[in-house]
Structure 1
């Protein structure tokens, strides 16, 4: 069985699509349906919430960084055996970067490729019938997709709802539900997005409250009916990124959690074994592993504790000294460096396996897709291999040090190739989050 699917999207960020997506997912699970969630774009946090809401794995679909075959593989895995897929868009429905048709990073690309109708979440605060003009524009902007209906969010009153609904009736788009302006429906956030699912207090109580609010305000039967057949493109067995080893020690705790589900799934499918360990619990990478991966996350919030984790630091240095590959992405890269300056300006000694020094006190947002060409053989591939991915961090490099770069990177907007990351012996790292080998 291949599940039918829907894409929950919005005209802009901040419209409430994450909370409504989670509420729909949980409400349908409580009805007895097998629900799978997926997230458009480069986002580590939302899929973990989807997994909590549905009690099933979630993953990312990224039309800029992934081939059609990989997108089909991920969507097919999610749709197999489920009753419905409730996918969540990123930013605005059509927000994109320069790229080939269908591979611009827009959520609309995913809806078009997989044939999923779109349910549009419209924040109607500060407007009434004018919200219909926004929905009408979304209906006609891209002929590849179909808007199946709208869910109104942040409705001030019953009178407000009626006025907005009149506008939607005029353009012929069904109103599937209307949620009030309610602060209790907002999940807590921090600088990279929502506070992670594993750190959110009373997570399942919050998800149940979202489900009850959505079930009381949205026609769930109409939502299920609006879902469309999943049109899978031809796919093959694809390993998105090469496995850095056969037995991979992977840091996993509140400081290191940003690993894409499709990357881990690809490593497992290729026969690798993942062995988690916790630096915050002062655990070293297990010595019987042949590679170590330090993911991104929030090491800047735990810099003092990491600096004092002597068993972890000594074990990490010993692991690298044995010649085994050690790679750090974003936050992991910061921990492999010499020092990390926290938000209060205090400097903490890190592993010193790379010469980079980073600071969270000097904050600057770095955000966007990247294409990286490797400068030397390493855990991500061979010299000259190209990878697609992204950066999203506020930390800055205050001293790059003497290590040669890991890769030359460009962005989709025509930037000149620039050196990025560091490498020394078997140790590599960068702020670049790899999504897939470039096609």
Structure 2
């Protein structure tokens, strides 16, 4: 099976890309198509919604963090198992970092590399004919990026829709759909994005509502017709991140959900077995495993339950005495001495590293990161370069005196100093790894 594909993007964040993407995925899946979602850039939550809408695992495609061979291999795999590939963009279409051309992290990099047409979502609230000027600018900005049509979002009335559509007709820009203002279509949000799919008791009903909206409001036949086959050269062998062990205990519940599918798939492809356990259910890492991975997520929302999970915390300490334990972001917070929740209450954590964190003293940390490891650990060998990102609101309130895990630089190469901690078999940091540099 080889998919046709398209990219859903927008001029900015908050324009409605996720709503449109999920509506398309759910509507085409309801038609019986094998439809595959993908997400440009670093994101855990949107791909989980893609998977819920289609039944097929979504994948991240990141032109900055992933070497080209890995990016192409993941795109090839996604396109080979579906009839339609729908890629949800990140931020605005051309938003990235000014480094190596084609490796900026922008959605436009994917459009140009894979030769996929772009459906541009325009939030037309507060404007009418001016939306056409915006579309004209995006259509002419980069000859390697093809804008195939627009979907209008937050339309105020039938007259409003007609005014915008008439202006688009003068550009010969297809209007592929229009969504009138409807707050009921929106998913609730929290500090790191949408509330996760597994936390919605009415998820199926919400996805059905989006599919029904797409059937009413979009020209699905036209959208399917404009999708083109991605131009993917034969992928070269792409080395995945090596697994931290042959049998990996993976924390997996609503507090620990931020694990990239391509990382887990790479571990399995290397022969590793992944064994899930739930800290919130007071389960320790399984004894028959030889490493433990605590991914990111929302431990700050479950700090009391984690503190009360004494069997988990004691089992983790016993495990760490002889085997590697690594924590990313939320997992790193749990490895520390304490975690202060939003109300300022401090909860005891595992105490396997000396730092402490607070969600009461919130400040956004967001951006690409390149990490040089300062010692061999679950992430790799000493001196190894890794690429990934940070995205958290928690503050480090006590640094402890552990050896640092890595030297960090931002996406443009500016040094950020050392970060994270390592003590014995235990390591952790706020850094989420995506791929080898």
Both proteins in one fold, TM over 0.5: yes
Unpaired runs of at least 5, structure 1: none
In 2: Cα distance, 1:329 partner to 1:414 partner: 22
In 2, are the aligned partners of 1:296 and 1:330 still within 8 Å (CA)?
A: yes
- Aligned with 2:415: secondary structure? coil
In 2: Cα distance, 1:358 partner to 1:248 partner: 26
Pairing of 1:393-432 with structure 2 (within 5 A): 393-432=392-431
CA-CA distance at 1:347 after TM superposition: 0.6
Aligned to 1:352: 351
In 2: Cα distance, 1:270 partner to 1:113 partner: 28
Deviations 1:59-113 (Å, cap 9, x if unpaired)? 1000100111111111111111311101100110011012211000000001111
- Aligned with 2:254: secondary structure? coil
Aligned to 2:227: 227
- Aligned with 2:7: secondary structure? strand
In 2: Cα distance, 1:10 partner to 1:199 partner: 27
Would the alpha carbon gap of residues 301 and 417 (structure 1) be closer, same or farther in structure 2, given more than 3 Å must change? Answer: closer
Deviations 1:345-394 (Å, cap 9, x if unpaired)? 00111100000111111000000000000000011000000000000000
- Aligned with 2:122: secondary structure? strand
CA-CA distance at 1:239 after TM superposition: 3.6
Pairing of 1:131-280 with structure 2 (within 5 A): 131-280=131-280
In 2: Cα distance, 1:84 partner to 1:414 partner: 37
Unpaired runs of at least 5, structure 2: none
Deviations 1:214-241 (Å, cap 9, x if unpaired)? 1100000000001011111342343431
In 2: Cα distance, 1:258 partner to 1:86 partner: 22
- Aligned with 1:230: secondary structure? coil
- Aligned with 1:311: secondary structure? helix
Aligned to 1:85: 85
Deviations 1:134-180 (Å, cap 9, x if unpaired)? 11111011111100000011111110000000111111110011110
TM-score, reference length from structure 1: 0.98
In 1: Cα distance, 2:337 partner to 2:37 partner: 39
In 2, are the aligned partners of 1:387 and 1:437 still within 8 Å (CA)?
A: yes
Cα RMSD, aligned residues only: 0.8
Aligned to 1:300: 300
In 1: Cα distance, 2:264 partner to 2:412 partner: 29
Question: How many matched pairs?
Answer: 437
CA-CA distance at 1:200 after TM superposition: 1.9
TM-score, reference length from structure 2: 0.99
In 2, are the aligned partners of 1:240 and 1:435 still within 8 Å (CA)?
A: no
In 2: Cα distance, 1:295 partner to 1:327 partner: 8
Aligned to 1:327: 326
In 1, are the aligned partners of 2:67 and 2:436 still within 8 Å (CA)?
A: no
In 2, are the aligned partners of 1:68 and 1:235 still within 8 Å (CA)?
A: no
Aligned to 1:343: 342
Aligned to 1:366: 365
In 1: Cα distance, 2:347 partner to 2:229 partner: 53
In 2: Cα distance, 1:239 partner to 1:156 partner: 49
In 2: Cα distance, 1:351 partner to 1:96 partner: 37
